[in-house]
Structure 1
Amino acid sequence: MISFLDLKKINKPYEAAFQQKLKEVLENGWYILGKEVETFETAFNKYCKTDYCIGVGNGLDALILIFKGYIALGKLQKGDEVIVPANTYIASILAVLQADLVPVLVEPRLETYNINPDLIEEKITLKTKAILAVHLYGQSAEMERINQIAIQNNLLVVEDAAQSHGAESNLKYKTHNLKSSAAYSFYPGKNLGALGDGGAITTNDSELAKVVYSIRNYGSEKKYHNEHIGVNSRLDEIQAAFLNIKLPNLDADNDKRRAIAKRYLTEIKNKKIILPLWDFSNHHVFHLFVIRTENRVDLQEYLTQNDIHTVIHYPIPPHKQKALPEWNNLSFPITEKIHNEVLSLPISPVLTSEEVSFVIKVLNKY
């Protein structure tokens, strides 16, 4: 069986270094917000070419804390509207809701699966105060256009970069730009994955950084002195230590993903399969390689019979989720088409050339 994602194989080369780091953390005796978190925040900051990095508990918390930070600064108010892509993973929408803001859904481009900037302006109202740009599947959203719209309408821009570690935008920043703040997830399956949950916020906004540093730690800048209604969401010291070991290899791992994606795109030749759009730039890091087909159930069963494991990202669009009944009658035809047809093929830095060839061969015979 060709695994969709073999995390054990991905982490195997780091095992000795992980064990050594774990020993160092244990012997150091400082387990919360210690030198490993500080080292990672500095290193990831440098990698992303930003001024501030704040390690937090997970990617969802990262988004929530950005919004809560802007509320604390008076740049957002509860009840403000936030533009969100309709086909995103539900975490993007949960973050908006949990910050007491109102998500406004906008259809994506069918070709890229990212939010369609051409449709954003018609959804802007007097209550709209921010755009949440999601770099879905590892491909950078159209940040040049999104930023132009934001500037013209005096809107904040927040980036959900949970799937796009290392992807460059057309602004030459790694899924980041001077006008926005980005949320990252280090869930084990991400391009930069920990061995548990973890997340981070990157920004060039010094005011936001200061507030978020406080909010993530009970709203306290100084112990037992609480300036904000805070939460407990801190990047774990041990997970930071593991991330410090893996970060130097992130670009090389992304290059391996792109090499596999290039083979898929150039060698899969089947009219029943719609391949993703990619301009062969570094704007995509292929966290996922997502194809579309009209008969997904049949194709997935066929691949399973041929020992190829696939996953659906995602089977149910947010507006059809039971948790959001007020949206269940809404219609987003492009989003619904995507969720009915997408199927993710195996792609990872440890996928062998022979395995890639086999996937291609089986797909071409379908």
Structure 2
Amino acid sequence: MSTEDEVRAVRARGRARLGPSIGDVAREAGVSAQTVSRVSTGADNVRPDTRSRVLEAMEKLGYSPNHAARALRYGSFGAIGIIAHQLARTGESRTVEAVVEAARQKGYTTSLVDVRSPSPTDVDDAVKRLDHQSIDGLVIIRAETATPATLVLPRRLPVAVSDSRFVGHHPAVGADQRGGTQAAVEHLLSLGHRTVHHLAGPAESAPAEIRVQVWSEVLQAAGREVPVPLRGDWSSRSGYELGVRVARDRDVTAVFAANDEMAAGLMRALYEHGLRVPDDVSVVGFDGIPLAEYFWPPLTTVRQDFHRIGEELVALLARQLDGEVLTDHRAVVPTELVVRASTAPPGRAAAP
């Protein structure tokens, strides 16, 4: 073997260890290395058919863009991290979906970590895992029991949170929990119900606690009895189990459920125990999931604009990346009471 052949062999072995290069992808796709670079960084000035060829070549060769090189050249990694807890829950899943879509619109990829438990240790571990993945900013959907004192975040990392406990410590975006809860309870009182019972979410959930607090305040301000809240875990099953207890108390005429899933379980339990909604018991939910319109009867609920929340969270990161200091910033996204057929004045069935 000649010296030149040996050099080629060494270079080939180096490429094998390092993986395919941007030149390998360019040759496979029949384009320039500059075009591959544009596709890798999400640039818009690439024809769709060319982009498809480059992406197919990347997948075939197993090519991953060099994010460190991108950061040096463009000043960013083009990626944001997302931390969430219990993605099966409506609020978390829909907010994550909205953040991913908003990030895509701005040219960012996303890395998601679903925290196994709400403990500060697990949240901290999630932050560390994302920090090693070269991200430009971090969105925390829910930190649960973590607090500004216990949550350690990398210095100078732009952060946006959807959690009221971090207001004043990190830029925050959230739905108007107070206004939505107040509207739900006042709606039921305005129909003539003596008081409103409450199926609450878990005690470790900040939104659940806000809804309990405001529900109690509205009843107290109206001079009404404040029943003991019944605690669920956001699931339809817990709503059903609590609904069995509600059905045994024939003094209950109105229930505010902390989310639509628990409201669905409640409505089934009432039906199975011979009670009709809203003739015997009026029910209001919270979240405004699309399915609520198709419950029977259709559910009166407080609609949260999860799409806008996601957009606002990504916008906050983008503003910080542009150099703005937004530590005390808080955006409150309005909620809307959607009145449907699950609420009515008490004893409507007995009315003439």
TM-score bin (small chain): 0.3 to 0.5
Normalized against structure 1, the TM-score is what? 0.33
Structure 1 or 2, whichever has the larger Rg, is 2
